[in-house]
Amino acid sequence: MPFEQYVLLVIPESEDYNFVYVEEKGLVDFFRPRLSTGEHQHFLPVGPEAIVEVFLPFAIKKQAGTIEIVIKMRTQVAWDEESWEIEVKPEGAPVIKHTSVLLDLKSRALFYEFLDIPIDESPIIQNSLLRRFVAGSPQASISISGDVFGPTSEDISVHYDNAFKGQRSLKSTDGLAFNFGATLWTLHYMRLTNQLTISEATAAFDFLNVQMAGILTQLKLTAWVTNLFQNAMFEEWEYLIYVDPRVLTDAVKFMLKHQNPDGDFGETEFYNITLDHKYRYQKSSFPNDVSIGLTALVTATIKEVVDSLHGTIRKRANQAILRAQSLIFCFKLLSI
């Protein structure tokens, strides 16, 4: 406006918050601020073509939920009213503990009204500003799974972030392979138990295609992922997720390239030690160190996919299986 105006701001009374008074020199006691309820009015002049910023401090009463704040404005020539919805999130800190309860539903249903949650009695850590938890934290999560298979989401896909509640970070191929494998076995379980409806599972198959496109491998992961790809080749859903047989052929060629003359399989030159301790080299009576775990894994994978191979690569795969099995048998004899 080209002239000075007097503005009256009105804050209506609400059960969701109190008004916080700002003391002299803009000071507010953080732990014990001066509060009041009821309607509040704030009168101020606004110069011509000017803007005035007004801070309105509130003390929210709710620990969690949604509140609405309404501000009314009146001048000599106009009035206005604005409202905002504010989501109040509960304070708290994660407690990396859980309570396990066995629900025996074989003969009858049971009803649990209360669950004991193990937490420390006091949040105070002696001689420290840190706290173990925030008292009164009102949020928790419950996960229910059967004794055969774990819980599944509505879209059936399984992501490691959700599976591990953000407590474990998987990177690159490990994470993609976990997502692919967990989702694939979920689909197979639902298919075998007559719970799978293809039209409702299209999002899961889209998820599988995305994860498959991003997988890059080393020898151990090549064997693991190749086994997953083989199990993903199923006639009923071939039009939803298609694994090109050339992928399996190239994967087997890659694995055969890393078989030693003795029959054992060794990691690539980029991984002189297998990242998974179960597949690391073991001292033996052979001239060289042999990774029996890695050899067994790769051999089992090649046996799984050999029927899908064609031509000379199939012959080479069968020969590699025989050499590896002979080595594993000799290793067992020497270990007795």
Looking at the predicted structure, is the pLDDT value of residue 105 above 80? Answer: no
**Mean pLDDT computed over 93-103:** 66
What percentage of residues in the chain have a pLDDT greater than 90? 14
**pLDDT 10s digits, 61-95:** 887 889 999 999 998 888 899 999 999 887 666 66
> How many domains are there within the chain?
2
Say whether both 68 and 194 belong to one domain.
no
Say whether both 166 and 291 belong to one domain.
yes
Say whether both 230 and 322 belong to one domain.
yes
Say whether both 80 and 167 belong to one domain.
no
Q: What is the CATH number of the domain that holds 15?
A: 2.60.40
Predicted confidence at residue 96, as pLDDT, reads: 62
**pLDDT 10s digits, 157-199:** 888 787 776 666 666 677 888 888 889 988 988 888 888 888 8
* Residue 218 contacts residue 270 (beta carbons within 8 Å): yes
Residue 144 within a domain = no
Residue 38 within a domain = yes
Residue 125 within a domain = no
Predicted confidence at residue 267, as pLDDT, reads: 78
Say whether both 28 and 176 belong to one domain.
no
- Distance, in Å, from the CA atom of 175 to the CA atom of 181, rounded to the nearest integer, reads 10
Range(s) of the domain holding residue 71: 5-88
Residue 100 backbone zone (phi > 0: left; psi -120 to 50: alpha; other: beta) = beta
**pLDDT 10s digits, 107-164:** 666 666 776 666 667 777 788 777 777 666 666 677 777 666 676 778 888 887 877 7
Predicted confidence at residue 115, as pLDDT, reads: 66
What percentage of residues in the chain have a pLDDT greater than 70? 77
Q: Which of 88, 110, 143 is the last residue of a domain?
A: 88
Q: Which of 88, 107, 141 is the last residue of a domain?
A: 88
Q: What is the CATH number of the domain that holds 202?
A: 1.50.10.20
Predicted confidence at residue 177, as pLDDT, reads: 85
Neighbours of 2 (CB within 10 A): 5
**Mean pLDDT computed over 207-214:** 84
DSSP structural state of residue 167: S
Residue 24 within a domain = yes
Predicted confidence at residue 210, as pLDDT, reads: 85
Residue 120 within a domain = no
Where does the pLDDT of residue 4 fall: very low under 50, low under 70, confident under 90, or very high at 90 and above? confident
Give residue for tokens 């020539």: 77
Residue 151 within a domain = no
Say whether both 189 and 291 belong to one domain.
yes
Q: Which of 88, 122, 138 is the last residue of a domain?
A: 88
Residue 167 within a domain = yes
Residue 246 backbone zone (phi > 0: left; psi -120 to 50: alpha; other: beta) = alpha
Give residue for tokens 């039009």: 239
Cα–Cα distance list, 123 to 30, 99, 126, 206 (Å): 21, 19, 10, 45
The overall average pLDDT reported for the chain is 80
* Residue 162 contacts residue 207 (beta carbons within 8 Å): no
Say whether both 210 and 322 belong to one domain.
yes
Residue 203 within a domain = yes
